[in-house]
């Protein structure tokens, strides 16, 4: 692909606001912007291995938006913004593969609800990103896309399952991106790639048209370079979907003035933040290095001090939950096959297979993911008896109890947020697998409470570390205030080396 002539707009680290200002000033068009990101994908993705499919219709879509802009101005809050989707979110004009060769030709008849909303807001889907196959794990390895690499160290993991989106957004291969989160996937990949990620409250964002892993835990969320862009994306993605009844609980929870209005540079002033020390340090001391965990802890300690300097009252430590009880509320192993089979049935004739068992039976699933199937006995669950399965029902009750006890703890201490690292250790070197035991994903995933991850700094080895803030139910506005205040006070985001401006592009 030959690069187009340069223009006056610098797209490195650009934001939605920057893009729209440049369009208003005539410095860039949507079509030109798409061209330049496609050139970057062509130049840099061999290193990252983050992109599965480029959208052949992106230029035409951008051209139509430019024509609309000439007549009417911006068509929506994401007008002309090049967007990267995790490839488990249905697109009517591109395959939706979940990273599996078994689904390589699967073309859903319509967009996922969140994709539809993003396009209605004016976004241009430039490509779809690699992921941990079927979202089952935290490495970003798939039979279709292979192994994605960390943008800050190509010898290390980007985490998962949304690692393709995170690595690509970190390297400026698109303006903004989406992920999905069952138990880490819009939090640990941003943390490992110096980005912002938001796991919204359960019920705020529709799951319709997203390849499922666990109905009780799945949600989509933004992955961006700035808190402001995360707020803009979530503002568009959130909303009631009659095909996903759980969104009725969040139908009236998006503030009338949206999330962008809650970007307060002084958001930490007067805040009360509890440090959940039980999520620091290695859990599996036989397999995890104390030094690795200490490197993360040191950065998060600095973040706590920076929040205090910005006006927050820090309560340290705060005991939240019993970790064994939290782990015992996992339901993925019960729900995966049931929910995946339902998704395939809703594809109708577009479905290449009828069940998860058939997909697994192809023998094409990446070996490390296939091993997880065997360890968890995923295909041995009788989905038809789940409504009377005592183990499953007990875990669902436990999840509600954990949510109530966590909220009670926050109310008792008058906390705006709980703070902890998304992962207790940095990215591991390939071919090692990122240790799930060291992920702190379950408190948000098992309670359905919202969480935001923001850049907190770098280890001595130059590896990004994030800090996670967990809030009360539907308290996304407050989380954006806190995260934006921290971002403005610290400015820990920096682009990775090796993905700079291209000559002539």
Residue 451 falls inside a structural domain? yes
Please report the pLDDT score of residue 7 as a whole number: 63
Residue 267 falls inside a structural domain? yes
Residue 9 falls inside a structural domain? no
Residue 4 falls inside a structural domain? no
Measured torsion, CA atoms of residues 253, 257, 263, 266, in degrees rounded to the nearest 10: -100
Distance CA 323, CA 320 (A): 9
- The stretches in the chain having pLDDT less than 50 are 1-6
Please report the pLDDT score of residue 505 as a whole number: 56
Distance CA 411, CA 400 (A): 16
Contacts of residues 331-334 at CB distance under 8 Å and 24 or more positions apart, as own/partner, are 331/214, 331/216, 331/217, 331/392, 331/395, 331/396, 331/399, 332/182, 332/183, 332/213, 332/214, 332/217, 332/376, 333/376, 333/377, 333/378, 333/381, 334/381, 334/386, 334/389, 334/391, 334/392, 334/395
Residue 7 falls inside a structural domain? no
Could you give the residue numbers annotated as active site? 86, 161, 185
Residue 395 falls inside a structural domain? yes
Q: Shortest CA distance to 135 belongs to which of 237, 233, 78, 207?
A: 207
Residue 501 falls inside a structural domain? no
Contact yes or no for 378/336 (Cβ under 8 A): yes
Please report the pLDDT score of residue 6 as a whole number: 44
| Tally of domains in the chain | 1
Model pTM above 0.75: yes
Please report the pLDDT score of residue 262 as a whole number: 96
Please report the pLDDT score of residue 69 as a whole number: 98
* CATH number for the domain that contains residue 127: 3.90.1300.10
Please report the pLDDT score of residue 4 as a whole number: 39
Which domain covers residue 300, as residue numbers? 16-490
Please report the pLDDT score of residue 287 as a whole number: 87
Query: What is the per-residue pLDDT across 436-449, written as a single tens digit (0 to 9) for each?
Result: 999 999 999 999 99
Residue 5 falls inside a structural domain? no
């Amino acid at each position: 692909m030959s690069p187009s002539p340069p223009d006056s707009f610098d797209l490195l680290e650009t934001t939605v606001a920057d893009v729209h200002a440049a369009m208003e000033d005539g410095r860039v068009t949507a079509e030109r912007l798409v061209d330049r990101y496609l050139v970057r994908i062509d130049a840099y993705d061999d290193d990252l291995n983050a992109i599965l499919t480029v959208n052949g219709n992106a230029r035409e879509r951008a051209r139509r938006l430019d024509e609309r802009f000439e007549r009417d101005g911006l068509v929506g809050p994401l007008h002309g913004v090049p967007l990267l989707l995790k490839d488990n979110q249905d697109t009517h004009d591109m395959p939706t593969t979940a990273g599996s060769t078994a689904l390589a030709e699967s073309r859903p008849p319509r967009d996922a609800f969140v994709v539809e909303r993003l396009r209605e807001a004016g976004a241009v889907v430039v490509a779809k990103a690699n992921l941990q196959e079927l979202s089952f794990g935290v490495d970003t390895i798939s039979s279709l896309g292979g192994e994605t690499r960390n943008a800050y160290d190509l010898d290390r993991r980007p985490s998962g399952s949304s690692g393709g989106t995170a690595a690509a957004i970190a390297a400026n291969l698109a303006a903004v991106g989406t992920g999905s989160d069952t138990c880490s996937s819009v939090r640990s990949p941003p943390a490992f790639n110096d980005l912002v990620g938001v796991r919204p409250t359960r019920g705020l964002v529709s799951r319709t048209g997203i390849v499922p892993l666990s109905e009780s835990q799945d949600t989509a969320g933004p992955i961006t370079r700035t808190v402001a862009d995360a707020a803009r994306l979530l503002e568009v993605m959130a909303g009631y979907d009659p095909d996903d009844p759980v969104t009725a609980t969040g139908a009236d929870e998006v503030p009338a003035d949206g999330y962008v209005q809650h970007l307060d540079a002084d958001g930490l002033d007067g805040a009360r933040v509890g440090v959940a020390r039980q999520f620091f340090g290695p859990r599996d001391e036989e397999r995890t290095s104390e030094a690795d965990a200490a490197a993360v802890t040191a950065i998060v300690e600095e973040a706590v001090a920076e929040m205090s300097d910005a006006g927050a009252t820090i309560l340290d430590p705060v005991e939240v939950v019993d970790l064994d009880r939290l782990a015992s509320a996992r339901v993925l192993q019960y729900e995966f096959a049931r929910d995946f089979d339902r998704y395939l049935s809703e594809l109708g004739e577009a479905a290449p297979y009828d069940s998860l068992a058939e997909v697994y039976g192809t023998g094409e699933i990446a070996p490390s993911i296939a091993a997880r199937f065997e360890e968890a006995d995923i295909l041995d669950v009788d989905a038809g008896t789940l409504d009377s399965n005592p183990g499953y029902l007990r875990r669902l009750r436990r999840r509600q109890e954990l949510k109530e006890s966590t909220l009670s703890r926050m109310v008792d201490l008058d906390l705006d947020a709980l703070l902890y690292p998304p992962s207790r250790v940095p990215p591991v070197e390939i071919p090692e697998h990122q240790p799930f035991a060291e992920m702190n994903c379950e408190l948000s995933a098992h309670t359905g409470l919202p969480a935001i991850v923001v850049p907190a700094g770098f280890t001595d080895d130059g590896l990004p570390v994030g800090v996670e803030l967990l809030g009360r139910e539907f308290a996304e506005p407050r989380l954006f205030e806190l995260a934006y205040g921290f971002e403005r006070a610290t400015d820990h985001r920096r682009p990775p080396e090796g993905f700079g401006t291209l000559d002539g592009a």
